[in-house]
Amino acid sequence: MKVFLLLMAGGIGSRVGADVPKQFIEIFGKPIIAYTLEIFEKHKEIDFIEIVCVKGFEKELEEIAEKAGISKLIKIVEGGADYEHSIINGVKGLEGIAQPDDIVMIHWAASPFVTGDIISDNIQVCEKFGNAISSCKPFVLYGTRNGNHADDVIDRDTFMCMTAPQSFKFGNIKKLYSDCEREGLFDKIEPHTTNFMAALNMPIYFSKGNQTNIKITTQEDLLLFKGYVMVNQLSDK
Question: Which sign, positive or negative, has the C-alpha torsion 90, 39, 119, 192?
Answer: negative
* pLDDT (tens digit per residue) in 19-72: 678 899 999 999 999 999 999 999 999 999 999 998 888 999 999 999 999 999
What are the beta bridge partners of residue 8? 52, 108
CATH of the domain at 101: 3.90.550.10
Q: Under DSSP, is residue 224 helix (H, G, I), strand (E, B) or coil? A: helix
User: Does the pLDDT at position 117 exceed 80?
Assistant: yes
From the list 214, 167, 186, the residue with the least C-alpha distance to 80 is: 186
Q: What average pLDDT score do residues 196-215 get?
A: 95
CB atoms within 10 A of CB 76: 19
Question: Which sign, positive or negative, has the C-alpha torsion 14, 20, 25, 31?
Answer: positive
Element (H, E) at 174: helix 170-183
- Residue-range definition of the domain harbouring residue 166: 3-236
CA 67 from chain center: how many Å? 22
- pTM: predicted TM-score of the whole model, two decimal places: 0.93
Q: In 38-180, at which residue ranges do the beta strands (DSSP E only) sit?
A: 48-53, 73-78, 103-108, 131-136, 142-146, 149-154, 161-169
Cα 31 to Cα 27: distance, rounded to the nearest angstrom: 6
- Count structural domains, the chain: 1
Highest-pLDDT range among 38-47, 141-150, 152-161: 38-47
103 conformational bin, left if phi > 0, alpha if psi -120 to 50, beta if neither:
beta
